[in-house]
Amino acid sequence: MKKLINSPATVLAESLDGFAAAHADIVTLGPNRAFVQRKVIKPGKVAIISGGGSGHEPLHAGFVGQGMLDAACPGQVFTSPTPDQMMAAAEAVDTGAGVLFVVKNYEGDVMNFDMAAEMAGRNIAKVVTDDDVAVETSTYSTGRRGVAGTLIVEKIVGAAAEQGMDLAGLTALGDRVNSRTRSMGVALTSCTVPAAGTPTFTLADDEMEMGVGIHGEPGRRRVKLASADAIADEMVAAIAGDLHGKGDALLLVNGFGGTPQMELYLMYHAARTRLEQQGIRIARSLVGSYVTSLEMAGCSITVSLLDDATTALWDAPVHTAALRWGL
Amino acid sequence: MKKLINSPATVLAESLDGFAAAHADIVTLGPNRAFVQRKVIKPGKVAIISGGGSGHEPLHAGFVGQGMLDAACPGQVFTSPTPDQMMAAAEAVDTGAGVLFVVKNYEGDVMNFDMAAEMAGRNIAKVVTDDDVAVETSTYSTGRRGVAGTLIVEKIVGAAAEQGMDLAGLTALGDRVNSRTRSMGVALTSCTVPAAGTPTFTLADDEMEMGVGIHGEPGRRRVKLASADAIADEMVAAIAGDLHGKGDALLLVNGFGGTPQMELYLMYHAARTRLEQQGIRIARSLVGSYVTSLEMAGCSITVSLLDDATTALWDAPVHTAALRWGL
């Protein structure tokens, strides 16, 4: 295992300390590093909280800040955070208007966020994201997995919360955005969880995992390495075939951590061309490594259908470590 | 070679097409993809142009936009762009106030930018960056190499140009920022140039290259893999020992392309702690993969001493694909 670390046991704590120090204008770290929260809480606003296993950075702590999340709870690498982290985060950022949990659809995450919601004695609703079209059920999930589309849900409900939308409205909005968002990924290499010390899976030099999950869990099938165009053909067909509608869309090409930008923009070009041929107009774009799997090489493609309201919410000002515009 | 590409011969063109499409609100692509330019040119402003071999993305095209570069010339991977690219870029963005070339100190780049300056028949000055303290002379350079500190020079002179500084002032400012900026890198793995198809260098499972260059060229020495703290000890000592001064500084922890954010923030934490112990106060921070070597794993640390004027220029609004704030 080749990593810039001191010890697997201290990776998360040292990284969070660095994150909080580097972005001290935006975030503060909660007691015992249980959560990352916005430095300035806006009274009367519904609080948006997310979280999950670490190793997907910048998701979720990188999305904490004005116009997006109020807090994020980091679990150990690829391990759900605990209910007490979520309860502490809710205590810190709930100003009385209620809390929306945005949860990726993995059993551990859903269970722990549900427990926290039950025990917190607060007005808490949740949106569960399940945008991954690759598989219908998987290693860690019943039903589809929540992957890079989660970023889009977090941005759009975050903007709406900033503008004063109430908890019921935000929940419906988050569910609607999730239902109009589809993703699929491909891995060229594995990742290595620091505490494990060995690669999560192995791929031959001429193989890739089509439909891979963001923890390196299996996708649809293991296939021979193919060209970018052939990969885009399969991924776009799977996504577009599952989207209920056409029209304007946001295209997110997301790197898994070990893929150069040059390849991501090339995949963006391939995906965009194919989507537009199918009547999906790319109105907004995001290209970069936002929902990662440590150092895994590969990428995912996400398409989210937009309307005027969600386009305006996507464009609304945001000031986080990883996404920033209009502020 | 595992890459998301169609053919080594078309990687750059397809990637540039994707980049231009994804960021059509900020940039346009010049004829024959010779350069990337700002969509809106500001008349009367000195034009800032950079460029170099591709494979370091987002450097330089990702820094084209308001408040930073007017144009960037992408060469093939790790290969200097040609003088005709630079001349075409200057023709496109020079509105009469002159042109500043920002050039990383590699022989091919310096030679080609010099040829372009001579042949262009325009008022052109240049700033050559050489912030890498690792080696005094190297595979592709006479004298120190220009590495991640180039980003800082480009941001600060870009902001000053936006505010109306003239060409002589910008040249002096760029030289001054470069002289107060020091970097050093470490590689845990190699990168693979698409046209070569095999790794640029090889490292054993327990080795790293201390002082590596951004093309995977040799650094100070090959050593056994060490802890993040030990790596930070050596890099910070080399950087701080070469900086002429203390006080406020910008700390940039830069990933080389294959390193997770979790490790970058951990290294930031280690570097910041050590710098502050030596009387260097971290007033500004940037953590991410900005000056990369394709998918190489590893990072560089850059420290740039700031004063009130350069701090204000760093903070000034910028709107590019890779850096955006205040707009």
The per-residue DSSP string of A114-159 comes to HHHHHHHTS-EEEEEE--B-S-SSBTTBSSSPP-THHHHHHHHHHH
Written as six digits, the tokens of B281 are 């106060």
Q: State the Cα angle at A225 between A220 and A229, rounded to 5°.
A: 90
CB A140 within 8 A of CB A181: no
- Indicate if ipTM > 0.95: yes
| pLDDT value of residue B148 | 98
| pLDDT value of residue B138 | 84
A56 is catalytic: yes
pLDDT tens per residue across span A220-275: 999 999 999 999 999 999 999 999 888 999 999 999 999 999 999 999 999 999 99
Distance CA B74, CA B52 (A): 6
Backbone dihedral region for residue B72 (phi beyond 0: left; psi -120 to 50: alpha; all else: beta) = beta
CA distances A123 to A97, A118, A175, Å, are: 8, 10, 18
Name which of A258, A269, A295 is nearest B21 (Cβ-Cβ).
A269
> A252 CA to chain B: closest CA distance, Å?
10
Radius of gyration over every alpha carbon of chain B, rounded to an integer in angstroms: 18
> CB A108: neighbour CB atoms within 10 A?
17
Radius of gyration over every alpha carbon of chain A, rounded to an integer in angstroms: 18
Sole residue written with tokens 């949860």: A103
Distance CA A272, CA A264 (A): 12
CATH of domain B11-179+315-325: 3.40.50.10440
- Residues in B closer than 8 angstroms to A287, CB to CB, are 18-19, 22
Task: Determine the residue among A3, A7, A261, A275 to mutate to test chain B binding: the one whose Cβ has the most chain B Cβ atoms within 10 Å.
Answer: A261
Residue ranges for chain B with pLDDT beneath 50: none
CATH of domain B181-307: 3.30.1180.20
| pLDDT value of residue B139 | 84
Residue ranges for chain A with pLDDT beneath 70: none
B23 is catalytic: no
| pLDDT value of residue A214 | 97
Region(s) of chain B under CATH 3.30.1180.20: 181-307
| pLDDT value of residue A138 | 84
| pLDDT value of residue A137 | 85
- Residues in A closer than 8 angstroms to B4, CB to CB, are 186, 188, 228, 231, 259, 263-264, 266-267, 298-299
Q: Which of B60, B215, B244, B319 is catalytic?
A: B215
Distance CA A51, CA A69 (A): 10
Please state whether beta strands A99-104 and A124-129 pair in parallel, antiparallel, or not at all (unpaired): parallel
Region(s) of chain A under CATH 3.40.50.10440: 11-179+315-325
